[in-house]
Chains A and B, each alone.
Chain A
């Protein structure tokens, strides 16, 4: 089982695209595999014949497990078959053989083999390189363990910066001073950890029903707890008058189908331009440093069946509204079809989560590490507001920004939010 996404730990074989005995060419699709993010194509890595399918459709195995054997048409694969998939250690390197313990017949290759890291190659169930509070085995130096015990620290909550995530002295010391943050920030986030609507649990007439976690829901669970625990959140809420934005959108729609944009497109554009004006918010927290990005890439939460994902609109500050509209529509469709590639859902510098279409007035979103902030957008509704001393009905929208306090301070976040508000209340300002 090949690692088809940066965070994939196991894969479910959805469907075989080749039959046993069929010839395959390097690069051809062998099967479809559901990862934690999407349904991906599993490609052949060399020419040959699909001799043996080991993993049945619908089955899930850890990355590195044997799923099939590709070899010469009349090659002896006798000593390769019969190896239980789960017992096969991940071979090392691209095109590596099954394993030294079960030498394959000359030329026969187990597929797929590549693993992203050599560290993972030594273990059947590759563990994430950074410990999470859920894992019981924490790599740590003996000194780090002793210091943690002396200080009453739970090592499982300390992010390791040594090789393979080993917790070392400096990590314990940093945790002791409260400067320690979330660990696995280098790996770009995928599932947006905003508060996901609870998955519908099928009701039975009595009792209960257990639904196993899907790979995506497992990732969401892990990423969420990596964020709200270690990342010190604070929240800023602002009410934005949307009358002019409303008019602008109506006006554009009136020009024809080609110029239709959604409120979300307007919001993404306003956020992107505001990030450009407030580079202090367009940043990642990377444990020992803050990375201020020169480019603005806005992540956009998209609900999909039993989960959510954040496709990224790259260089959103430099794209026109129509471009953003077209791109966000295409990305959302691909997300719902679970066809996003990792490049399409990683690398955001800030995210937007919009539950307005689901009639939510306002909410708080969980930051998607290593990003420093996320904007939670509520619905646009006519509300009673006081303007010039009189009570009037106005369309307004409430937004709440979650900030990582290690990167963004209150006033910094507030000024950013002021700019977002100014742009949405005066859409013409986006032309400036």
Chain B
């Protein structure tokens, strides 16, 4: 199987879907001539021309709205945000237009589009550019939220997102773009709403998505040295959330730690914990613990930033706690 970077896996998905369906087009800042701020759209302008790879001014609300209009008219837009931090300017189009249209039109006007770009913190970009917004969008009925953690998932999920008839918020990772992994060629489609067991284990379940999957896997390695077998569950899609897969794992291990890069209050972890306590109450041997980003704006200082992010040591400590091993 070919080994690709996460960015090239996304590029492959875009190319394949644009070739497959002429109604798919890409629009955003620097996606054409510059080939994408993170080079995800490399070669696409050359291959598909300026009608289907459209450079925009720095007007997030504007081009997001143009995308929603195009979707209403029957096209399948892929809107790239340079990062999800900038998409705050466009959130009205996502929440009030894209997410509501099918409902408010009585089912007559579907919005088959994808909003994509990198989310989460990179390194020393400061408080305004180091944010994880997946919980915000997952909160909204009418939106699907996808957070791929590996190159193979990035390709398979983006293809599904483009084919989906609902607006999909597709959050990539700036620190993931260079990550390499095996990616199946051709028709590799991963259905939305299906979790993946990234590592099997018996003693404790670690639920993690996006960049935190790697953190969870590293923690699982550490725990294995102490004879603790951790299972890492990656929901991959946050909405719809594959609660049955999480429950099946927790029923096996009786203990769970939920990891996310974003803030704790009303975060994704809160939703996961709610599902577990309702559906797997009698299987729990310990309260479910969460490892999250610190409940503060991201510090710019390198050391403080490191302390504010979840890392393997914090996950290991939480796992040991739910195992009553100090």
A-to-B contact residues, CB < 8 Å:
141-146, 161-163, 168-170
Closest to B324 in A: A162
Bound-state Cα–Cα, A225 to B281, Å? 33
Verify B324–A170 contact, CB threshold 8 A: yes
B174 within 8 Å of A by Cβ? no
Shortest distance between the CB of A13 and any CB in chain B (Å): 39
- For B286, what are the chain A residues with a Cβ–Cβ distance below 8 Å? 141, 162, 168
B282 within 8 Å of A by Cβ? yes
User: Could you name 13 residue pairs across A and B whose Cβ atoms are closer than 8 Å?
Assistant: A142-B281, A142-B283, A142-B285, A143-B254, A143-B282, A143-B284, A144-B285, A145-B282, A146-B282, A162-B286, A163-B324, A168-B324, A170-B324
Shortest distance between the CB of A161 and any CB in chain B (Å): 7
Shortest distance between the CB of B323 and any CB in chain A (Å): 9
- Interface of B: prevailing SS: loop
Shortest distance between the CB of B160 and any CB in chain A (Å): 36
- For B284, what are the chain A residues with a Cβ–Cβ distance below 8 Å? 141-143
Verify B282–A169 contact, CB threshold 8 A: no
Closest to B281 in A: A142
Closest to A162 in B: B324
Bound-state Cα–Cα, A146 to B283, Å? 8
- For B283, what are the chain A residues with a Cβ–Cβ distance below 8 Å? 142-143, 146
Bound-state Cα–Cα, A143 to B281, Å? 8
- Interface of A: prevailing SS: helix
B-to-A contact residues, CB < 8 Å:
254, 281-286, 324
Shortest distance between the CB of A124 and any CB in chain B (Å): 24
Given A143-B254, A169-B254, also A161-B282 (CB < 8 A):
no
- For B285, what are the chain A residues with a Cβ–Cβ distance below 8 Å? 141-144, 168-169
List 5 other contacts, CB 8 Å, given A143-B282, A146-B282.
Answer: A142-B282, A143-B254, A168-B324, A169-B254, A169-B285
Bound-state Cα–Cα, A170 to B286, Å? 11
Shortest distance between the CB of B318 and any CB in chain A (Å): 14
Bound-state Cα–Cα, A168 to B284, Å? 9
Bound-state Cα–Cα, A143 to B286, Å? 8
Closest to A167 in B: B285
Shortest distance between the CB of B278 and any CB in chain A (Å): 12
Shortest distance between the CB of B320 and any CB in chain A (Å): 13
Shortest distance between the CB of A153 and any CB in chain B (Å): 15
Closest to A141 in B: B285
Verify B324–A161 contact, CB threshold 8 A: yes
- For B254, what are the chain A residues with a Cβ–Cβ distance below 8 Å? 143, 169
Bound-state Cα–Cα, A222 to B285, Å? 28
- For A161, what are the chain B residues with a Cβ–Cβ distance below 8 Å? 324
Closest to B321 in A: A163
Closest to B277 in A: A142
Bound-state Cα–Cα, A163 to B324, Å? 8
Bound-state Cα–Cα, A168 to B324, Å? 9
Bound-state Cα–Cα, A141 to B250, Å? 14
- For A141, what are the chain B residues with a Cβ–Cβ distance below 8 Å? 284-286
- For A170, what are the chain B residues with a Cβ–Cβ distance below 8 Å? 324
Bound-state Cα–Cα, A320 to B283, Å? 59
Shortest distance between the CB of B107 and any CB in chain A (Å): 42
Bound-state Cα–Cα, A161 to B324, Å? 8
Bound-state Cα–Cα, A142 to B282, Å? 5
Shortest distance between the CB of B71 and any CB in chain A (Å): 46
Bound-state Cα–Cα, A141 to B254, Å? 10
Q: Determine which residue in A162, A163, A169 has the highest number of CB atoms from chain B within 10 A of its CB, and name it.
A: A169
Q: Determine which residue in B281, B282, B283, B285 has the highest number of CB atoms from chain A within 10 A of its CB, and name it.
A: B285
Closest to A161 in B: B324
Bound-state Cα–Cα, A146 to B285, Å? 10
Shortest distance between the CB of B96 and any CB in chain A (Å): 41
Shortest distance between the CB of A316 and any CB in chain B (Å): 35
- For A162, what are the chain B residues with a Cβ–Cβ distance below 8 Å? 286, 324
Ranked 5 nearest A-B pairs via Cβ: A143-B285, A169-B285, A146-B282, A141-B285, A142-B282
Bound-state Cα–Cα, A373 to B281, Å? 42
Bound-state Cα–Cα, A141 to B281, Å? 9
Closest to B283 in A: A143
Closest to A140 in B: B285
Closest to B254 in A: A143
Bound-state Cα–Cα, A144 to B284, Å? 8
Bound-state Cα–Cα, A163 to B286, Å? 10
- For A163, what are the chain B residues with a Cβ–Cβ distance below 8 Å? 324
Shortest distance between the CB of B39 and any CB in chain A (Å): 49
Shortest distance between the CB of A139 and any CB in chain B (Å): 12
Shortest distance between the CB of A80 and any CB in chain B (Å): 35
Shortest distance between the CB of A170 and any CB in chain B (Å): 7
Shortest distance between the CB of A129 and any CB in chain B (Å): 14
- For A144, what are the chain B residues with a Cβ–Cβ distance below 8 Å? 285
Closest to B282 in A: A146
Bound-state Cα–Cα, A20 to B286, Å? 50
Q: Determine which residue in A142, A146, A170 has the highest number of CB atoms from chain B within 10 A of its CB, and name it.
A: A142
Bound-state Cα–Cα, A146 to B282, Å? 6
Shortest distance between the CB of B156 and any CB in chain A (Å): 35
Closest to A168 in B: B285
Bound-state Cα–Cα, A212 to B286, Å? 40
Bound-state Cα–Cα, A163 to B289, Å? 14
Bound-state Cα–Cα, A122 to B283, Å? 27
Bound-state Cα–Cα, A170 to B283, Å? 13
Bound-state Cα–Cα, A168 to B282, Å? 12
Shortest distance between the CB of B250 and any CB in chain A (Å): 10
- For A146, what are the chain B residues with a Cβ–Cβ distance below 8 Å? 282-283
Closest to B287 in A: A141
Q: Determine which residue in A161, A162, A168 has the highest number of CB atoms from chain B within 10 A of its CB, and name it.
A: A168
Bound-state Cα–Cα, A142 to B283, Å? 6
Shortest distance between the CB of B213 and any CB in chain A (Å): 27
Shortest distance between the CB of A313 and any CB in chain B (Å): 35
Bound-state Cα–Cα, A153 to B286, Å? 20
- For B281, what are the chain A residues with a Cβ–Cβ distance below 8 Å? 142
Bound-state Cα–Cα, A170 to B325, Å? 12
Bound-state Cα–Cα, A31 to B49, Å? 92
Bound-state Cα–Cα, A89 to B120, Å? 44
Bound-state Cα–Cα, A143 to B253, Å? 11
Bound-state Cα–Cα, A4 to B50, Å? 83
Q: Determine which residue in A141, A145, A161 has the highest number of CB atoms from chain B within 10 A of its CB, and name it.
A: A141
Closest to A144 in B: B285
Shortest distance between the CB of A119 and any CB in chain B (Å): 15
Shortest distance between the CB of A334 and any CB in chain B (Å): 39
- For A168, what are the chain B residues with a Cβ–Cβ distance below 8 Å? 285-286, 324
Shortest distance between the CB of B204 and any CB in chain A (Å): 12
Bound-state Cα–Cα, A332 to B297, Å? 64
Shortest distance between the CB of A158 and any CB in chain B (Å): 14
Bound-state Cα–Cα, A169 to B252, Å? 13
Bound-state Cα–Cα, A430 to B254, Å? 57
Closest to A145 in B: B282
